[in-house]
Amino acid sequence: MPGADFIIKTGDLATFNPAFGTATVVVVPGNMSGTAQFKVDGSIACVQGDEAKVSVPGCSYVAPPFTIPGVGTLTIQTLGPDQTGKKTNSSQKAVILKGSTFTAQFTVSLPAGMPTPSGPNPDPVPQYTGTGQFVTTNVRDKGA
């Protein structure tokens, strides 16, 4: 099947690249949880919209010159153009495919700081954009 790629399923990982613009995040993978009406390798497949449930709070970051670590949450902002199935779908939603990369977002909950004589100066940026990819144990079932 040309252009086919592996279907993402419950238990697969969303991994994030540490570079989020000028910020460097200590990344932790997020777990995918599917809502499709069918299973892949015994686990429920993921469909478009399931990526929005991935949330990884408590990740630390720095963004020079703000060298005192801050904290925030990683999420998936948008799937890449090659990460949704065109033919295979469930409940009128496209399945999520491994594809190449998705757009990720890092939302700051505790700003990083820059040391100053009068106390830390907080990072004014509320969120950063980066990328990530899916890691799947599915090596048999493909969607297109």
* Integer angstrom CA distances of residue 134 from 34, 59, 64, 101: 13, 19, 28, 8
DSSP letters along 74-134, please?
Answer: EEEEE--TTSEEEEEEETTEEEEB--S-EEEEEEEEE--EE--TTSPEEP---EEEEEEEE
Look up residue 131 and give its two tokens. 């990328």
Report yes or no on 144 lying in a domain: no
Residue span of the structural domain in which 24 resides: 5-115+123-133
Low-confidence ranges of the chain (pLDDT < 70): 1-4, 87-91, 144
CA 26 distance to own-chain centroid: 13
Report yes or no on 38 lying in a domain: yes
**What pLDDT is attached to residue 2?**
43
**What pLDDT is attached to residue 91?**
64
Domain count, the chain: 1
Report yes or no on 140 lying in a domain: no
**What pLDDT is attached to residue 143?**
72
